[in-house]
Amino acid sequence: MTIRRLLTAAVFAGSMSTSYADPCSKEIDRVQAKIDAQLEAAAAAGSSGAESTGATLHHQPTPESIAAAEGRLGELSPDQATAVFAAMRRARDANKAGNQNACEQALNEVNHILGQ
pTM, 2 dp: 0.61
* Between residues 62 and 11, the one the model is more confident about: 62
Helix (H, G, I), strand (E, B) or coil at 50: coil
Q: According to the model, what pLDDT value does residue 31 have? A: 93
For the chain, the domains span 3-45+60-113
Q: What phi, psi does 95 have (nearest 5°)? A: -65, -45
Does the pLDDT of residue 5 top 90, yes or no? no
Distances (CA, A) of 109 to 85, 88, 90: 11, 9, 10
Q: What's the one-letter identity of residue 66?
A: I
Distances (CA, A) of 65 to 8, 44, 84, 116: 13, 18, 13, 24
Does the pLDDT of residue 18 top 50, yes or no? no
Angle (CA) 55-56-57 rounded to 5° is 95
Q: What's the one-letter identity of residue 81?
A: A
Dist CA 78 CA 12 (whole Å): 20
pLDDT tens readout for residues 63-116: 777 666 655 544 557 788 889 899 999 999 999 999 999 999 999 999 998 886
Are 53 and 20 contacting, i.e. CB atoms less than 8 angstroms apart?
A: no
Q: According to the model, what pLDDT value does residue 49 have? A: 63
Q: What is the mean pLDDT of residues 10-31?
A: 70
pLDDT tens readout for residues 49-63: 666 676 677 777 777
